[in-house]
Structure 1
């Protein structure tokens, strides 16, 4: 009976030791997994916090999630993504407005498109300024630069007729939606 008890004791010690050893080896993996889940939860909370205040919340969420880095981005990271998207949109819209101004058949359209091109030249500067302000953590300047860009986007919208069939009205609206993301991010940061 004594031998049986010793063997049983050794088996329990071995099992317990193995369990403890397995749990200890799993601990780092469990910590990493919990951090990943926490990051995604935090990112979703940041997305909701920014996007809920924008002009078009569903556009905001879709735009920010279009960048793979958004999956683990913090608030500042999401703002950086929004600035990059805005810079790209402003540059693309500027090129389109210049192209339309060169190719427009009527003098009136040519003038309207040329006006938008001049406006977008300034918008590009303001959006770049918002990016510089973000990098230097000057969030007040970031919001001012973005607000100026949004005002100019509105001005270009006023130049474009509602019957305009070019892609410019849609791109102008997209720029406004992206700028609103940058603005809301700057107000939260």
Structure 2
């Protein structure tokens, strides 16, 4: 009987602290975030397309967009790696090979940024995500003067836009 009472008190206390903690978390102002984003229309579409963003606090929104940035970078890397394998034009193959290295660097920077995100270190997160964006930009620059697969440009643009949202959020943390 005493164990039952202790368990009930523990559960009640836990629920109390969870409720108090959730009162301190304010809903993120998505309109303000997207207004400061590199591409406001992309940001708005992105936020509307993900039901998890509705009603999310700033930290949750940072985790959601950061996860999307990681997914985007990994998807772009996989696509470019497949293009390297099938490309016969030496100039394009060289450009794609360079992009593979750039995206590997981007993913490495994002992996480093996880610690900043977990600790709520907005400036540190900003620095690491900015560094990750460099890889994508360099890839785009390397492919600018050749007839690259259009999906590489779209993937790179999406990655840049998602990272841009993370940067805005990191400045608000």
Computing the radius of gyration from Cα coordinates, the structure with the larger value is 1
Pick closer, same or farther for the CA change 1:132–1:62 going to 2, 3 Å. Answer: farther
CA distance in 1 between counterparts of 2:41 and 2:110 reads 22
Partner-residue secondary structure (3-state), 1:73: coil
CA distance in 1 between partners of 2:157 and 2:32 (Å): 22
Aligned-residue CA RMSD (Å): 1.5
| Candidates 101, 106, 111, aligned match of 2:89 | 106
Q: Is the 8 A contact 2:80 2:152 kept in 1?
A: yes
Q: Does 1:66 align with 2:49?
A: yes
Which of 115, 131, 142 aligns to 1:148? It is: 131
Q: How many residues end up aligned between the 2 structures? A: 147
Deviation of 1:50 (Å)? 1.3
- Which residue in 2 is equivalent to 1:96? 79
Change (3 A) 1:50 1:129: farther
> Which residue in 1 is equivalent to 2:20?
none
Structure 1 contact 89–175 (Cα < 8 Å) conserved: yes
Q: Is contact 1:83-1:130 (8 Å) kept?
A: no
With a CA cutoff of 8 Å and minimum separation of 6, indicate the structure with the bigger relative contact order: 2
**TM-score when scaled to structure 1?**
0.73
Per-residue deviation, 1:65: 2.8
Cα deviation 1:91-149 (Å, max 9, x = unaligned): 00010111111111111111100100100001111122223311111111100001111
More moved, 111-120 vs 166-175: 166-175
Equivalent in the alignment of 1:124 = 107
Checking the alignment, whether the CA contact within 8 Å between 1:67 and 1:81 is kept in structure 2 is no
TM-score scaled by length of structure 2:
0.79
> What is the DSSP-based 3-state SS (H/G/I as helix, E as strand, rest coil) of the residue aligned with 1:164?
coil
Q: Does 2:115 match 1:138?
A: no
Show structure 1 runs of 4+ deviating over 2 A: 64-67, 128-132, 161-166
Q: Distance in 2 between matches of 1:48 and 1:169?
A: 27
